[in-house]
Amino acid sequence: MLEFPEHMRIPDTTQVDVAIPGWHINGHGEKCRTNFNLAYMEGAGRTVGEDIETTWAGTNSLAPSVREMAPAARHDTLNDHWNGWNFRKVVGFRTLFFKRFNDAYNMSAKQTGVFNQLSTTFPPATIKKWESVITTWEANPKARNPYAEPASTTTLQDVRLALAKEEAAEVALGNLPRHKMSLSAFLIAGFELEDSQYLIRREASQMKGNKTSKQLADLQEKRNALHRLLQNWREAQLVYTPHVALLLSRPPSAPNTTTPLPSSSTLSPSEALPENMPLFLPSSLPVHIRALPELKAICQLERRLREAQAEDALAEVRRQRRVIQGLWLFKRLNVSGTGNRPNTKMITLYKCFNKKTERAAEKYRSAWRALCVLNPGGSWSTRFKELKKEDISGPGKDADDTSNSRYLPSWILLVPREEMRRVIVYLRWKADWWRERSALRGHLDTSILSGVSGYAHKQASICLRIAERCAVHWLPQLENKGLKPVWAADYAHLVNRVSVSETGVDDTERSEDVVLELDGECEDEDSIDVEGYEDGINVEADVDDDDDFDFGD
């Protein structure tokens, strides 16, 4: 701040709350979206904080011209345009805040009823606890953020680590595993085989028409590899769950082995394929076998692993959906990327991530079905629901959905009123600022000083007239709502002098010279209608040249 002039420095005692503009925050991570979101800040109204972007958007068309100019000419040209934008914005405050106040007043009454009705569905203790968490976070941003989505606390790798430590403790006590593959490793290997079976089934189903020799060879090699893994895994399975042998055919023992291996000789051609062979994990065993006391421990172990698997799979589904949503948003906004090449590339990317989403969804469904068998109605059922195909959508909402800003609580009514007050105060200050400028060049020639002083007083008059027009436009509506701002007394006499012809005309029926999206502060903001300069400002001096209006600082 030391680089700024003294009158522009922020006092050291000022508390600055930092936030990220609403459009740019979409490109930030989860922590930024929860900790620096304008919608979560106390006192923030319907805004996204992207006001400067609207000015830049309006001056983008100047680029081909100003890039050919010298620095001084470029500086003057940009200043002229930005002064024009500033002036149009100030003139538009009158109708803009009139519209916003009406929206805020109506939505405040509506949302208060919705909020009260929703609150009755929760116990008072829950509401009090939630309010306490919100108050604590607003007072101390380092506290737990109530708006942050709870992260998965237990992953499959966490459970693996815990089980490995438990097995190490058992080994230290002299309890060695019955097979060289530990029990937890056996179950996790079963999950991986389950996933491999799904991948091969999907690949086989996607082969349409006449298959080439290479395609058939690649598929057969994958099946052979899966079959070998299944045979090795079956050995451990018959050690930990020997009852599975009753469900498998029993051919003669293979050479140099003592363990009878399952055979596919009695299976149908489709069932004989390794991707279709049943694995007979504990969750897929018949009830009378699964209920045996000796299988209780392995069933509990699978339940723990399945819960973690469901957590991981669901998190992966969400992540892949965010990636896909980002791809489509990028494609929609980058309209120049049309044609076969970019479209084909985008479709290829979409199919790739969509396959990953389907794979994660299948993992979740397998885990969910297993949990329904192993622990029906358990505590997991409050977190994990059946995942249907139509559930895999988003994130985001449809284009015709109501914007988030419509769900703000009732205090949004205070924001337009405060903005109205600030407009009046700003215009008064600007008028005084221009009057002070009229006496700063006393050393000039009398004829020049007269023109400079007249120009400054003219600008001051324009500011005061705009303030009067805003007050006349706003006060009747505020009084109808039973509200009387502190600045009302200064302009009450003007309201009574407004002609019947002027008050009877609706702003929406006037012929506007300029249709300007004034500040773009809301994602669903309507275009703001700004009246022509002569109609919007009734000044005694002639106002026939846009250059007379200088609102640049």
- DSSP notation for 396-441: S--TTSPPGGGG--GGGGHHHHHHHHHHHHHHHHHHHHHHHHTTS-
Query: Residue 16 burial by CB count (10 A; 0-12/13-18/19+): exposed, middle or buried?
Result: exposed
Query: Residue 512 burial by CB count (10 A; 0-12/13-18/19+): exposed, middle or buried?
Result: middle
**Is 131 within the bounds of a domain?**
no
Reply yes or no on whether the pLDDT at 418 is more than 50.
yes
**Is 434 within the bounds of a domain?**
yes
Q: How far apart are CA 540 and CA 548, in angstroms?
A: 14
Q: How far apart are CA 538 and CA 84, in angstroms?
A: 18
Q: How far apart are CA 358 and CA 195, in angstroms?
A: 12
Are residues 329 and 390 both part of a single domain? yes
Are residues 431 and 511 both part of a single domain? yes
What 3-state class would DSSP assign to 529? strand
Among the listed residues 37, 122, 106, 146, the one whose alpha carbon sits nearest the alpha carbon of residue 410: 106
What is the model's pLDDT at position 174?
82
The band of 70, judged by pLDDT with boundaries at 50, 70 and 90, is very high
Strands 528-530, 514-516: parallel, antiparallel or unpaired by DSSP?
antiparallel
Q: How far apart are CA 478 and CA 484, in angstroms?
A: 7
Are residues 476 and 421 both part of a single domain? yes
What residues have CB less than 8 Å from 174, skipping those under 6 apart? none
Sign of the four-CA dihedral 326, 328, 329, 335: positive
What is the model's pLDDT at position 537?
36
Q: Whole-model pTM above 0.85? A: no
* Owner of token pair 């195909």: 389
**Is 134 within the bounds of a domain?**
no
**CA separation (Å) from 507 to 211, 416, 503, 512, 535?**
69, 19, 10, 9, 11
Reply yes or no on whether the pLDDT at 73 is more than 90.
yes
What is the model's pLDDT at position 38?
85
What is the model's pLDDT at position 411?
36
Are residues 171 and 214 both part of a single domain? no
Are residues 318 and 386 both part of a single domain? yes
Neighbours of 10 (CB within 10 A): 9
Q: How far apart are CA 408 and CA 410, in angstroms?
A: 7
Q: How far apart are CA 552 and CA 87, in angstroms?
A: 8
The band of 522, judged by pLDDT with boundaries at 50, 70 and 90, is very low
Region 147-171: mean pLDDT is: 82
Are residues 423 and 512 both part of a single domain? yes
Out of 53-57, 71-75, 166-170, pick the least confident.
53-57
* Owner of token pair 């000419």: 73
More confident residue, 248 or 457: 457
- List the domain range (segments joined by +) for residue 216: 182-240+242-279
**Is 343 within the bounds of a domain?**
yes
Q: How far apart are CA 339 and CA 343, in angstroms?
A: 6
Among the listed residues 287, 281, 280, 243, the one whose alpha carbon sits nearest the alpha carbon of residue 376: 287
Region 237-266: mean pLDDT is: 61
Q: What is the CA radius of gyration of the chain?
A: 36
Percent of the chain with pLDDT over 70: 80
More confident residue, 191 or 488: 191
Sign of the four-CA dihedral 443, 448, 453, 456: negative
Q: How far apart are CA 261 and CA 299, in angstroms?
A: 23
Out of 92-96, 360-364, 511-515, pick the least confident.
511-515
Are residues 169 and 191 both part of a single domain? no
Are residues 436 and 539 both part of a single domain? yes
Chain Cα centroid distance, residue 177: 48
The band of 392, judged by pLDDT with boundaries at 50, 70 and 90, is confident
Are residues 360 and 497 both part of a single domain? no
Reply yes or no on whether the pLDDT at 525 is more than 60.
no
What is the model's pLDDT at position 536?
38
* Owner of token pair 């419509």: 406
What residues have CB less than 8 Å from 108, skipping those under 6 apart? 410, 412, 413
**Is 480 within the bounds of a domain?**
yes
What is the model's pLDDT at position 322?
86
Question: How many structural domains is the chain composed of?
Answer: 3
Q: Tell which of 340, 371, 399 closes a domain.
A: 399
Encode pLDDT of 459-481 as tens digits: 999 999 999 988 888 888 888 87
Are residues 540 and 421 both part of a single domain? yes
Q: 514 pairs with which residues across the strands?
A: 530
Are residues 432 and 541 both part of a single domain? yes
CB 302 within 8 A of CB 281: yes
Structure tokens at 432: 């005084």
What is the DSSP-derived secondary structure letter of residue 20? B
**Is 24 within the bounds of a domain?**
no
The band of 253, judged by pLDDT with boundaries at 50, 70 and 90, is very low
Q: What angle do CA 548, 474, 41 make, to 5 degrees?
A: 95
Region 484-506: mean pLDDT is: 67
**Is 535 within the bounds of a domain?**
yes
The band of 335, judged by pLDDT with boundaries at 50, 70 and 90, is low
Are residues 309 and 173 both part of a single domain? yes
Reply yes or no on whether the pLDDT at 348 is more than 50.
yes
Q: At what angle do helices 156-172 and 296-333 cross, to 10 degrees?
A: 150
What is the model's pLDDT at position 535?
38
Encode pLDDT of 207-219 as tens digits: 877 788 898 999 9
More confident residue, 173 or 540: 173
Q: What angle do CA 98, 100, 102 make, to 5 degrees?
A: 70
Among the listed residues 283, 276, 244, the one whose alpha carbon sits nearest the alpha carbon of residue 262: 244
**Is 57 within the bounds of a domain?**
no
CB 48 within 8 A of CB 29: no
**CA separation (Å) from 222 to 191, 276, 506?**
17, 13, 74
